[in-house]
Amino acid sequence: MQEVRIRDEYIKLEQAMKLAGAVSMGSEAKMVIQAGEVLVNSEVELRRGKKLRDGDIFTYEDNDYRIVGA
């Protein structure tokens, strides 16, 4: 599981995916999120603006990413 370190209280899903290197551009993140290909805490998430906080986990292409807060 890869850790995604953030400095603020939360990060939006789309931004977290870019920060983690799961996608290269925001438009790519938008497409895969809206297609139902991303899970947040084991549930399909369709909102790219979903706020992720310390301890949340998102999954894309069988890779897990844990948000680690400040």
Note the pLDDT of residue 26: 87
Rounded Cα gap, residues 45 and 32, in angstroms: 10
- Mean pLDDT score of the chain, rounded to an integer? 95
Q: Which is nearest to 47 in space by CA: 15, 2, 5, 7?
A: 15
Note the pLDDT of residue 16: 96
SS3 31: helix
Note the pLDDT of residue 33: 97
Q: Which is nearest to 33 in space by CA: 17, 46, 19?
A: 46
Chain centre to alpha carbon of residue 39? 8
In the chain, what are the domains? 2-69 (3.10.290.10)
User: pLDDT by residue (tens digit) across 20-54?
Assistant: 999 999 899 999 999 999 999 999 999 999 999 99
